[in-house]
Amino acid sequence: MQYDDALRRAIEESEKETFELAALEQRCIAEPQNAVAHFALAEVLALRGRFAEAAKAYHAALTCNPNYIEALVGLGLVELQRGEIVSAVEALSKAAALSPQSAEIHFYLGNALDDAGKNEEAIKAFETALDLKPDYEEVHLALGFLYYRIGNQKGVREQYRVLQALQSPLAEQLARLL
């Protein structure tokens, strides 16, 4: 019985999600200039792992509003998932330029630049994120890993010490690199 109830709930939830997705798609068709509708569709598609379709929906939102920061960030993140690193860097660079006080966007940009092999630019993006939010644990970790990959043990130790001072459980991940 419990299995049947769980299965029934899963099917009902799936049907509900399918209906909601169809409604979003219809709204985008009915309102092609509605950036918010395209963005909402892109977000749902990205959550479902449908990254190519999400990228198209983010592009549609950006066609309506080229400075839509959230759509630029979303596009950058799905492009990273798709392995489209150049496109990811472009979208996140524009988002960072439009929202220079966002530590989160600089963190994402740093990750994209890191994936692109642009080490110095990635370090600068991570440092900008830390200037804006010094206790951003994930940035300290990413920077520590980047320093490790480029052979900067001093940098790894520094990020490890910061994470320890923050009493972050992420420090353990860098401890293995020392």
Express each pLDDT in 90-143 by its tens digit: 999 999 999 999 999 999 999 999 999 999 999 999 999 999 999 999 999 999
**Cα–Cα distance between 75 and 98 in angstroms, integer?**
15
How many CA atoms within 13 Å lie on the side-chain side of 21?
17
Whether 68 has a pLDDT exceeding 80, the answer reads yes
153 pLDDT band, cuts 50/70/90, is very high
Instruction: Please name the amino acid found at residue 145.
Output: F
Instruction: Please name the amino acid found at residue 100.
Output: P
Report the Cα–Cα distance between both ends of the chain, in Å, rounded.
53
Hunting for tokens 């630019």 — which residue is that?
A: 121
User: Which has the closest alpha carbon to 113: 103, 102, 100, 126?
Assistant: 126
Neighbours of 61 (CB within 10 A): 27
What is the pTM for the complete model shown? 0.87
**Cα–Cα distance between 117 and 121 in angstroms, integer?**
9
Task: Give the residue, 10 or 165, on which the prediction is more confident.
Answer: 165
**Cα–Cα distance between 130 and 140 in angstroms, integer?**
8
